[in-house]
Structure 1
Amino acid sequence: MGLTPLSQILSRYPEFARRLGSAVERDRELLRHPKVQEWMARLSLEEAEVLAASTEWWTWLEEEDACAACPGLERCPHRLKGYRAIPTREEGRFFFRYEPCAEWHKATDAKRRRRLFRLIGVPEEFRDVRFSDAEEDDGNREALRAVRKFVEDFPRTRGLYLYGTFGVGKSFLAACAANELVERGHSVYFVYVPSLVLELRASLDGGEFLPKLAELVQADLLILDDIGAENATAWVRDEILMPLLQGRTQAGRPILFTSNLSLQDLLENYLLGASDIEAGKVYRLVERIRSYADVYHVKGRNRRMRK
């Protein structure tokens, strides 16, 4: 007895026939899709190869539509959030390869930058500035070139001491250097000195003072922003500034200083109220900075004021 013709079977089961017809039409729709045809031509795929993975192809098309109107990594609807499927054929076998998308790389890079670039008391927007954003003029040209050279020679370089009046762009230039070095994979600690003093003082009770100080010594670059603006006590000088200078010079790790004060003014500021014994320690501190860092006067208009 022969097999029952398919037409008779379908006539007995109309719902099955309807579903079968829908499946056939959906397969035709898949094969006609421009994106599928593009990849079929690119990978020399046979129709049978595409239809064998039809479910994966339809998922891929849905995800491609979602990528075209990307809602961001947090709301990514893909099965593998932040990954994009790429039709692939290797050694005669077809499959979908998953690769991180641009948003995933952006988020990962942001995490990496936050891990490498740590701030204390410094505006978050400093994470985004670059040398291309700097306005060069007669007032800052020499300092700008020095900071660029500092980055080019890093880490085999002397420290820098940038000083000038409020708002001329000293911290901005330091941030440009920091971001360039972070891009190269270096770790940077950028600290506003008065805020650093408060944080380290608060860490004394919890036994975190020495570990925090060690982090500052070990970073590839330490930026001490607005040195001289802190309350210049003997404790700050002997327990924070001198250990940082001593530890980093011994390790060959540079410091980039910014200040509103010249080194002479910084010396006089630290000498205020100091005894004869204390004065000797102050001289040693400032002399250590002088011998360790090249000094540049940043001049010009107040760049923080609106034009």
Structure 2
Amino acid sequence: MENIGKGLNQQLKKQGRLGKLEKIMAEVMADPDVQAFISENRERLTDDNISKSQAKLYEFVQEKKKFLLNDPTMIAPGYEPRLFMNYHFIDVTYIPTKDLEEKIALQEIKNRVKAMDMPKDIREARLNNFELTNERKEALRLALDFVGNYDDEPKHFHQGLYLQGTFGVGKTYLLGAVANLLAEKGYRTTLLHFPTFAVEMKNSIRTETVFEKLENVKKAPILMIDDIGADSMSSWIRDDILGVILQYRMQEQLPTFFSSNFDMKQLENEHLRVSQKGEVEPLKAKRIMERIRYLAKEVNMIGQNRRLN
């Protein structure tokens, strides 16, 4: 009697599970999107095909509910589930939403700007936020000319800009804004803070990564060197790092921008000419400046210090 009772209980449990499954599938089949899809494809679907597609139909209905509720546990967050015919059976695919496509597009644009040790406001700089004054019109005009000319003929050499001016006049912001505009047009730019980069290169001697980092910078499709001349420069940084970068870019005719508190003449005579050790090396300074003058056109930016506002 005990065995008969045990067997009966198991059978009732099994029937309960089957009843629950039938109820779930009834709800799935009643879903308006499921009904519409089956109706549209009825000529290609037999009852057996539909029965064998129940697992996919269940997945679709469950994921659609999560999608509408923006539930983070859904299989593919940001993707909308859709039914489609996979040979003679019903299957589920996931289509990126418009919001997700926009986020992906924006991320792709951001990824085209490699900002090394640059603050957030520079990474997010935009030309429409660049405060235009009479003193800065020429710099903006030349920057826009560069972007237009480069976009027209990206394989030709285009001279970059050497933005010169006192602290806080917007030199670095303009570089960041140009880099982001170029990114929107599909071009990659490396924007680096040169004093920080110089320290990093010295530290790379210990980790034996100087060559790798130097290669990445010198071969950047478009390079922007910010704040050159802000700190004293060793002969090694000047000749074996900066000199190598500039020589390569001059030979390969790669666009290069600079920003500095010094004008070109001051950079040569007051910064590059004397090493950290006090050695006076005018020929080496002149060699660096010849490369800079070849790569970039000097533009004077004047105005009030916006960092104080």
TM range (shorter): 0.7 to 0.9
How far the C-alpha of 1:149 sits from its partner, in A, is 2.2
Could you tell me which runs of 5 or more consecutive residues in structure 2 were left unpaired when the two chains were aligned: 1-10
Counterparts of residues 18-37 of structure 1 (less than 5 Å): 25-37=23-35
SS for the counterpart of 1:129 is coil
| In 2, Cα distance between equivalents of 1:15 and 1:217 | 72
| In 2, Cα distance between equivalents of 1:92 and 1:214 | 54
How far the C-alpha of 1:118 sits from its partner, in A, is 2.6
Change in Cα spacing, 1:189 to 1:171, as seen in structure 2 (3 Å) is: same
Residue by residue over 1:7-39, the C-alpha shift from the partner in whole angstroms, topping out at 9 and shown as x without a partner, is xxxxxx877776666555544433443444555
Partner residue, 2:148: 152
Change in Cα spacing, 1:237 to 1:21, as seen in structure 2 (3 Å) is: closer
Partner residue, 1:143: 139
Could you tell me which runs of 5 or more consecutive residues in structure 1 were left unpaired when the two chains were aligned: 1-12
How far the C-alpha of 1:190 sits from its partner, in A, is 1.2
Indicate which of 73, 78, 86 corresponds to 2:74: 78
| In 1, Cα distance between equivalents of 2:120 and 2:81 | 35
2:221–2:255 Cα contact (<8 Å) kept: yes
> Is 1:190 the equivalent of 2:191?
yes
Change in Cα spacing, 1:93 to 1:305, as seen in structure 2 (3 Å) is: farther
| In 1, Cα distance between equivalents of 2:28 and 2:246 | 68
SS for the counterpart of 2:257 is strand
How far the C-alpha of 1:202 sits from its partner, in A, is 1.0
Amino acid at match of 1:130: R
> Is 1:283 the equivalent of 2:286?
yes
SS for the counterpart of 2:205 is coil
Question: Structure 1 residues 214-223 or 275-284, which shifts more?
Answer: 275-284
1:83–1:104 Cα contact (<8 Å) kept: no
Indicate which of 291, 302, 306 corresponds to 2:305: 302
Identity level (%): 28
| In 2, Cα distance between equivalents of 1:68 and 1:121 | 41
Amino acid at match of 2:268: L
Indicate which of 115, 119, 123 corresponds to 1:119: 115
Amino acid at match of 1:269: E
Amino acid at match of 1:166: F
SS for the counterpart of 1:203 is helix
How far the C-alpha of 1:225 sits from its partner, in A, is 0.3
1:197–1:230 Cα contact (<8 Å) kept: no
Counterparts of residues 63-102 of structure 1 (less than 5 Å): 63-70=63-70, 76-79=72-75, 83-89=79-85, 94-100=90-96
Residue by residue over 1:170-225, the C-alpha shift from the partner in whole angstroms, topping out at 9 and shown as x without a partner, is 11111122223334443322111110110111112332212211111111111100
| In 1, Cα distance between equivalents of 2:218 and 2:272 | 26
RMSD value over aligned CA atoms?
Answer: 3.4
| In 2, Cα distance between equivalents of 1:22 and 1:52 | 18
1:228–1:269 Cα contact (<8 Å) kept: no
| In 2, Cα distance between equivalents of 1:65 and 1:292 | 58
| In 2, Cα distance between equivalents of 1:89 and 1:287 | 66
| In 1, Cα distance between equivalents of 2:46 and 2:174 | 59
Amino acid at match of 2:191: F
Counterparts of residues 196-207 of structure 1 (less than 5 Å): 196-207=197-208
